[in-house]
Structure formats: C-alpha cells, structure tokens
Amino acid sequence: MFGKRRNPYDFLFEITQACRFPATKTDIYHIVKTTYEDFQRWLNVALQVKLIEATAQGNKYLITQKGHGFLTKWQELQTFLKEE
C-alpha cells in the first residue's frame, strides 16, 4: 500500500487491521504511515462507524465484530477485483 495513493477504505482497513490486538494510537499511527492529520481523521471515522473501539482503560483500541466483518469483506473485494 505504501507509495501509492490510498483511498478511504484503505485507511480504514489498515487502522482496523492494526487493532486486531489492543494497540495504542502511536502503534496504529506507525502502521498506517500517513500524515498525523489524515491519521486523526480516519481513526475518528473508524471509531464513529464502530470498526474499532477504545478499551476500558481508554488508552488502547481494539477491533469490533463489525470491524472483523469489514476486514473480511474488504479482502474479498480486493481479491475479486484482481481476478482476471
């Protein structure tokens, strides 16, 4: 992904995937590799649409059931689009 222009779903996929295990904002930011402004925007979107949620302690983020579904569907779509 890095090195080419990403669409919004790519950002959401990368953020959601980074939260498969409890992750801090810094952990996620280093995985996504984008500007801080873009990172903040897409992290907030992922939270608003409930792909991820803050842990009870509030300092880490974790994927939701909806987020797992999104990862599966996005990967299926990517595979479908690459088929000849």
- For residue 43, what is the domain's CATH number? 1.10.10.10
Q: Which tens digit of pLDDT belongs to each residue from 17-69?
A: 999 999 999 999 999 999 999 999 999 999 999 999 999 888 999 999 999 99
Residue 21 counted as domain residue? yes
| Burial annotation 43-68 (CB, 10 A radius, 16+ → b, else e) | beebeeeebbbeeeeeebbebbeebe
Residue 2 counted as domain residue? no
Counting the structural domains of the chain, the total is 1
Residue 43 counted as domain residue? yes
Residue 77 counted as domain residue? yes
Q: Who contacts 39 (Cβ-Cβ below 8 Å, separation ≥6)? A: 28, 29, 32
Q: Whole-prediction pTM value?
A: 0.87
pLDDT at 1 over 60: no
pLDDT at 2: 46
Range of the domain at 74: 8-82
> HSE-up of 32 (CA within 13 Å, CB side)?
31
pLDDT at 7 over 50: yes
